[in-house]
Amino acid sequence: RESVVLLRLGSQRELAQLDQHSAKRATGRPRCDLLQAMPRTEFARLNGDVRLLTPEAGEGWSDLVHCPSQRLLDRLVRRYAETKDSGSFLLRNLKDSERMQLLLTLAFPEPLVLQSFPSDEGWPFAKYLGACGRMVAVNYVGEELWSYFNAPWEKRVDLAWQLMEIAEQLTNNDFEFALYLLDVSFDNFAVGPRDGKVIIVDAENVLVADKRLIRQNKPENWDVWYESKFDDCDKEACLSFSKEILCGRATVDHNYYAVCQNLLSRHATWRGTSGGLLHDPPSEIAKDGRLEALLDECANPKKRYGRFQAAKELREYLAQL
């Protein structure tokens, strides 16, 4: 038997806000029968004989579609599982109610991330099992990464290496979609008890940039490598980023930065601890100093483009360890 985790699509407050917003758009009142009112909101543009979900209609609904390309939206529609006719990217093959559901899901897009970048194709996300209303069922991966904070050194090195590999895979892959993790903390990853594999279990805040489109459209500075600013704020798991820059550059170090700063390096703080996953290395590694230097450069680079180089060397070094 497989253990299952049920996720609510958003917090109760967020879902209530969406309902209120939709009701106001449709009727001017804060409450109404949403199913009847929906066709009178911005959803109406997608009813009738609309062929494709276009960037104009989908843009900005959530991080996932902050800057969507047609290629990404076709993928989301084609892989949207809550329909009789999944496998087509044509909207007209969906019933009106299915289109509504798809658009509502764009606002709380975790199911779409899990369906469009599925674990059985090698993406590092929990496995999507199904949905009912505003609940989603995913497979239970295992205990969260946090419970390994004081695991034996070899185990932590393996987990750190896997986290850097995930950062690399989401940044550079054959599909030329960059998936940027905007919320990176110890609770958002879990570890399989049998295979020891690290999996992302919270995919709510993932921004997808289409590198193919960026290269084609060549926005200003599109080919200048972008280095994220180190952010030593007092909050736990904080990150600094500009969604516009993530959407407009072909080469971005955001995922390396997020993993190094928030999980691995001495800057990582969580639940009152500090020191990151690689705290207290064995004395010979501490003496050598290379690990700490690479982690520091990856979290808070001193050299120009230092993080790109440090991330590459850190992956190799952890693999050797």
- pLDDT digits over 262-298, tens only? 999 999 989 888 899 999 999 999 999 999 999 999 9
SS3 191: strand
Q: What is the pLDDT of residue 254?
A: 97
In the predicted model, what is the mean pLDDT of residues 224-243?
A: 86
Question: What mean pLDDT, rounded, does the chain reach?
Answer: 91
Per-residue pLDDT of 87-146, as tens digits, reads 778 887 788 778 878 888 898 999 999 999 999 999 999 999 998 878 899 999 999 999
Q: For position 89, what pLDDT does the model report?
A: 82
**160, pLDDT greater than 90:** yes
Of residues 231, 161, 215, 221, the one with CA closest to residue 191: 161
Helix (H, G, I), strand (E, B) or coil at 39: helix
The model's pTM is 0.93
Mean local confidence (pLDDT), 234-245: 86
Please give the residue that has the higher pLDDT: either 180 or 2. 180
Distance (Å, whole) CA 264 – CA 295: 7
- State how far the Cα of 199 lies from the Cα of 205, in Å rounded to an integer: 15
Domains, the chain, ranges and CATH? Answer: 4-139 (no CATH), 145-319 (1.10.510)
Nearest alpha carbon to residue 74 among 94, 61, 90: 90
pLDDT of residue 37: 74
What letter represents residue 179's amino acid? L
| pLDDT at position 46 | 64
Q: State residue 231's pLDDT score.
A: 80
Is the pLDDT assigned to residue 81 strictly greater than 80? no
- The predicted-structure confidence for 12-61, as pLDDT tens digits, reads as follows 888 888 888 878 877 888 887 776 776 676 666 666 666 788 898 889 98
Predicted local confidence at residue 243, as pLDDT: 96
267, 299 Cβ separation under 8 angstroms: yes
